[in-house]
């Protein structure tokens, strides 16, 4: 075992890569082919499916399943009991397997709130925030704040997590933003 922690109640399949400093807590299952970066944290009862790729510094709270077809870039936060899907039209009698899965991407720093759902086939942009209980049915722009069912535009958030007010200037950390094609971009 490498320089990471896995609780004795968890299962790690063969052909899994786990980065240094990562912690896998109680009752987790990391499946074959998963690639997990450094300094990640997986709370109780997390399942990481086959061939899932997870970046560095990712935090996954209790009761989350990250299904095949989902990719998490660096510093993504998945709140407790949030849900990913990977098949838009599942049927028990007519399983499609991985050929029918739609790719879902959470870009660097994205946050998904507790009990939110991300319907497959969408991208949640860098530093975007999905409110607790929201249902994502479309792409979410960079730094966009979405809430509701289905999730709709509610505002913009800074990289530090504070909601941006007038002029796209963060009242907490002072970062300045400007509108871009993909959402907001930090003004340098």
Give every CB contact of residue 44 below 8 A, 6+ residues apart in sequence. Answer: 25, 26, 27, 28, 62, 63
Residue 1: pLDDT over 90: no
Which domain range does residue 125 map to? Answer: 5-90+99-186
Instruction: List the CATH number of the domain containing 82.
Output: 2.160.10.10
- Fill in the DSSP letter of residue 167: G
Give me the pLDDT at residue 188, please: 83
Count of domains in the chain?
Answer: 1
Give me the pLDDT at residue 166, please: 83
- Fill in the DSSP letter of residue 88: S
pLDDT in tens, 157-183: 999 999 998 889 999 999 999 999 999
pLDDT in tens, 96-154: 999 899 999 999 999 999 999 999 999 999 999 999 999 999 999 999 999 999 999 99
131, 136, 138, 140: CA torsion to nearest 10: 30
Give me the pLDDT at residue 22, please: 98
Give me the pLDDT at residue 92, please: 95
């Amino acid at each position: 075992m490498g320089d990471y922690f896995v609780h004795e109640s968890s299962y790690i399949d063969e052909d899994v890569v786990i980065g240094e400093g990562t912690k896998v807590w109680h009752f987790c299952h990391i499946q074959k082919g998963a690639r997990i970066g450094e300094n990640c944290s997986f709370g109780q009862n997390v399942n990481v499916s086959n061939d899932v790729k997870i970046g560095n510094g990712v935090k996954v709270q209790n009761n989350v399943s990250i299904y095949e077809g989902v990719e998490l870039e660096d510093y993504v936060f998945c709140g407790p009991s949030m849900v990913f899907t990977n098949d838009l039209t599942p049927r028990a009698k007519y399983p499609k397997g991985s050929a029918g899965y739609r790719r879902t991407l959470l870009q660097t720093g994205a946050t998904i709130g507790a009990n939110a759902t991300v319907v497959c086939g969408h991208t949640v942009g860098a530093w975007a925030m999905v409110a607790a209980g929201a249902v994502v049915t479309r792409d979410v722009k960079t730094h966009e704040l979405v809430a509701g069912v289905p999730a709709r535009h509610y505002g913009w958030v800074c990289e530090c997590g504070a909601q941006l007010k007038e002029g796209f200037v963060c009242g907490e950390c002072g970062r300045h933003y400007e509108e871009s094609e993909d959402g907001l971009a930090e003004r340098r």
